[in-house]
Structure 1
């Protein structure tokens, strides 16, 4: 991109530009280390406890491994933050000034590379994948902001639908890794898997009758409707036990309930400061939107597969293409460029590994460390130079994990390198110690 070719430079000190809360480079690094480590303990402690509940890990893990993994991940993240400040200061001292790339991008790449070596190997690829997604979305926002590209109406939905089509075709052909198969079995059920695979899946499940006798089906007058739906016809090639109408309805209600419950939980955690706020969060419209998205996704996928069997009197994994594409449009209920991009990059990763298995693509050693370092460097660079182009949720995360120190960068001084650097915080000016700088607050800044 053209933004990386600017030859301009600025000569401000690292105190004036970066760690504006203290003139000491060493103290700035230690301050960031401590605040990030403290927040990391909270974040990873919560995330790992949730993983314990969902994965049902035993007491031995809680006693011997949980605290070690929380500490290791916290050390990784806090080291990333500390080294970012450290390398920022080192490059300033080496060059005597700040250039576009050496100000934030190169220090962030170096810091991320070293920090990731401290994290467990099993988490490195996941972190690289996550940051690559954030970087791609950030790059897209930058291109839109510069007017280089124009967003397509429902672009995220189109992308998600195409990705969903390929994924569900592979799912119907049982050509996905075990983790992906499990995810789609959860989303749309196992009944569209190949018959030989389905037999293995069902043998590991409880009695099918018990699975279907959910409490919802036992209440009156729903029981009569359920009985009627179960008795509706199904095609001979359909592998589900009951009628097609019941199969489709069951998928919708199950996923709608899950989506509604998940969004309710999120709302309760973020707004349960009073009984009234908690009650309001239970009936928030976003709860219905996520439920409708997940419910319609399952129902449309199941319904299209059943319909194609009735129309063609033939079953094929290629039915998953059309069914997956149409199911993807359920995202109209809950538009999310993050989810769409995540699904797309995950598919690209899967196709890349298939290319490696086929001998068509090379295997790149340490690819996870390289991808993480460059992606994180790009995102950190953007957070400093033009935070308005960062995903709002990620900007909030950076503020939280750094104790809002990322917002104290004097972006007014960066405008020579990036003209829109102060767009998000146009009136901010640090409270400098006059013993260490001659900079004074410009009169054009409005303190209000």
Structure 2
């Protein structure tokens, strides 16, 4: 991190430090633009097409809106990547040298602010939360690497449990935005919502049995299912059958979903290798992550339901406070599938919900363009770290930056940044660019003489 005081700087050229694959600033920007454009088309083309299919969009959407949405997001990502290298050079030319702040943060902030204005307003909030998530995790990794704090055991699980407790308390009260309520209803079912939210009384028809219908076709499953359905149900419970059936059904459904989703991702990743290693498909299908995600989702849903049922039996009354305790306990199911990304995203979405609740009650002011500000600052911080200390980035995000820029982020000569940050070249300590000697005489032996 920067130390306040007299600013440090390095006097190398853009070519020597940044775009080491070409001495031309203009060609470097054009080259990055082309690479990012190709990757952005793949990313958003696949993402929006699959999302449209899963959301069962009509033919009109695919004809009239899909291409427009893809193009706008591709323009956003391409602009962000291209302008970063452009402003990297521009700020160096304006200031005459590279300073700690201008080398990464200011260049990235200038690029990110311009890019996010090109993206659809409906996506800006999601991008802001995602990048704030990445920035927070990056800052945590930075302070850990400096030894300023000690890691908290299961810290991400604790954070997720606290966020889940608050979320599910509001869920039980019916005080959540429709999109969030819909996501939680899918995860834990609608039976714990207030009756007025469901529009149905106790024992309403449950449409969530579709997933299990095929399993219950055999006689064995029919006998087990009937036995579970006949278990006791508290008079205040809104689910149709017994409490044990209610819990077991939820676990099986969400475990199966988690297994299939993670398994599908693993299988897609294995497809390019099938012709060389046919066994990779079977390995992908039985990968332990498939079981872990299934166990996480299954336990989360089942624990939330069983705790609510138990509290109704023990207290002989129902209350939204039950959702607070049930949410906290169900959050610990993340021990099966620990993810700081999921924990931070959940926490940031909760902060967003609470912020808008505060606005609606007049407790908090409405900040215009908050999503633009958060995205620009968060992205600038993450890109700054990507320049000076990429070893402290989330590995998946660093790999994303390398992929989307065609490894351009990886060929910076970070040895030149060591006067500003001693561990700058830690991620690749032996790397030295293959310079064109017509444009620089820089060698590993000469860098100590440059300031």
Which range, TM-score by smaller chain? Answer: over 0.9
> Where does structure 2 lack aligned partners over 5 or more consecutive residues?
none
**Deviation per residue, 1:203-248 (Å, 9 max, x gap):** 9x97759758611122231211110100011000000000001000
Where does residue 31 of structure 2 map in the other structure?
31
Note closer, same or farther for the CA distance 1:202–1:136 as it changes in structure 2 (3 Å cut).
Answer: farther
Where does residue 362 of structure 2 map in the other structure?
359
Deviation at 1:199, TM superposition (A): 2.3
Deviation at 1:63, TM superposition (A): 1.2
Distance in 2 (alpha carbons) for counterparts of 1:413 and 1:106? 19
Deviation at 1:42, TM superposition (A): 0.3
Distance in 2 (alpha carbons) for counterparts of 1:106 and 1:317? 47
Note closer, same or farther for the CA distance 1:243–1:266 as it changes in structure 2 (3 Å cut).
Answer: same
1:432 aligns with 2:425: no
Distance in 1 (alpha carbons) for counterparts of 2:407 and 2:17? 16
2:402 to 395, 399, 402: 399
Distance in 1 (alpha carbons) for counterparts of 2:42 and 2:296? 31
**Deviation per residue, 1:256-305 (Å, 9 max, x gap):** 00000011001101123223100111111111111000000011000000
Deviation at 1:385, TM superposition (A): 0.4
Conserved 8 A contact 2:173-2:193: yes
Where does residue 337 of structure 2 map in the other structure?
334
Conserved 8 A contact 2:205-2:240: no
Note closer, same or farther for the CA distance 1:429–1:87 as it changes in structure 2 (3 Å cut).
Answer: same
> Where does structure 1 lack aligned partners over 5 or more consecutive residues?
none
Conserved 8 A contact 1:4-1:100: no
Q: Secondary structure at the match of 2:417?
A: coil
2:302 to 292, 299, 306: 299
Deviation at 1:201, TM superposition (A): 10
Distance in 1 (alpha carbons) for counterparts of 2:198 and 2:74? 41
Note closer, same or farther for the CA distance 1:202–1:77 as it changes in structure 2 (3 Å cut).
Answer: farther
Distance in 2 (alpha carbons) for counterparts of 1:3 and 1:260? 47
Conserved 8 A contact 2:202-2:237: no
Where does residue 232 of structure 2 map in the other structure?
233
Conserved 8 A contact 1:4-1:101: no
Q: Secondary structure at the match of 2:359?
A: helix
**Deviation per residue, 1:362-410 (Å, 9 max, x gap):** 1111111111111000000001100000000100110110001100100
Q: Secondary structure at the match of 1:364?
A: coil
Where does residue 257 of structure 2 map in the other structure?
258
Where does residue 53 of structure 1 map in the other structure?
53
Where does residue 160 of structure 1 map in the other structure?
160
* Count of residue correspondences: 443
1:280 aligns with 2:276: no
Q: Secondary structure at the match of 1:360?
A: coil
Conserved 8 A contact 2:212-2:253: no
Conserved 8 A contact 2:195-2:201: no
1:420 aligns with 2:414: no
Where does residue 77 of structure 1 map in the other structure?
77
Where does residue 289 of structure 1 map in the other structure?
292
Distance in 2 (alpha carbons) for counterparts of 1:98 and 1:153? 39
Conserved 8 A contact 2:237-2:309: yes
Conserved 8 A contact 1:21-1:432: yes
Deviation at 1:58, TM superposition (A): 1.1
Distance in 1 (alpha carbons) for counterparts of 2:232 and 2:205? 25
Distance in 1 (alpha carbons) for counterparts of 2:148 and 2:350? 26
**Deviation per residue, 1:53-89 (Å, 9 max, x gap):** 1111111111121112111111111111111111111
Conserved 8 A contact 1:165-1:322: yes
Where does residue 243 of structure 2 map in the other structure?
244
TM-score normalized by the length of structure 2 = 0.95
2:379 to 376, 379, 392: 376
Note closer, same or farther for the CA distance 1:221–1:380 as it changes in structure 2 (3 Å cut).
Answer: same
Conserved 8 A contact 1:355-1:361: yes
Where does residue 214 of structure 2 map in the other structure?
215
Conserved 8 A contact 2:202-2:240: no
**Deviation per residue, 1:65-124 (Å, 9 max, x gap):** 111211111111111111111111111111111110011110100010011111111111
TM-score normalized by the length of structure 1 = 0.96
Deviation at 1:436, TM superposition (A): 0.5
Distance in 1 (alpha carbons) for counterparts of 2:313 and 2:10? 70
Conserved 8 A contact 1:6-1:100: no
RMSD of aligned alpha carbons: 1.9
Conserved 8 A contact 1:190-1:201: no
Conserved 8 A contact 1:6-1:417: no
Query: Which stretches of structure 1, 4 residues or more, deviate above 4 A after TM superposition?
Result: 1-6, 200-203, 205-213
Q: Secondary structure at the match of 2:148?
A: coil
Deviation at 1:45, TM superposition (A): 0.2
Q: Map residues 160-179 of structure 1 onto 2, 5 A cutoff.
A: 160-179=160-179
Deviation at 1:438, TM superposition (A): 1.0
Note closer, same or farther for the CA distance 1:184–1:8 as it changes in structure 2 (3 Å cut).
Answer: same
